[in-house]
Amino acid sequence: MNSSTQAPVLQIRNIDMNDLETITALLRGFGYPTTLNVMKERLEAVKNDPAYCTLVAEVDGQTVGMIELRQVISYCKEQESVAEVTAIIVEESLRRSGLGKRLIAAGEDWARGRQCKQIFLSSGNRVERAPAHAFYRHLGFEQNGYRFCKSLF
pLDDT of residue 50: 92
Give a yes or no: residue 147 inside a domain: no
Give a yes or no: residue 146 inside a domain: no
Q: Tell me the CATH number at 54.
A: 3.40.630.30
Length of the chain: 153
Give a yes or no: residue 99 inside a domain: yes
For the cut 70, the answer to whether the pLDDT of residue 1 exceeds it is: no
Give a yes or no: residue 153 inside a domain: no
In angstroms, the CA 120 to CA 4 distance is: 39
Structure confidence by residue, pLDDT tens digits, 41-84 = 999 999 889 999 999 999 888 899 999 999 998 777 666 889 99
Give a yes or no: residue 71 inside a domain: yes
Domain with 34, as residue range(s), is: 3-138
Give a yes or no: residue 143 inside a domain: no
In angstroms, the CA 129 to CA 126 distance is: 6
Give a yes or no: residue 66 inside a domain: yes
**pTM, rounded to two decimals:** 0.85
b/e 10-42 (16+ beta carbons within 10 angstroms → b): eebeebeeebbebbbebbeeeeeeeeeeebeeb
For the cut 90, the answer to whether the pLDDT of residue 14 exceeds it is: yes
pLDDT tier for residue 96 given thresholds of 50, 70 and 90: confident
Closest CA to 68 of 4, 11, 111: 111
pLDDT of residue 92: 81
Rounding to the nearest 10 degrees, give the CA dihedral for residues 38, 40, 42, 43.
Answer: 160
Give a yes or no: residue 42 inside a domain: yes
How many domains, in total, are found in the chain? 1
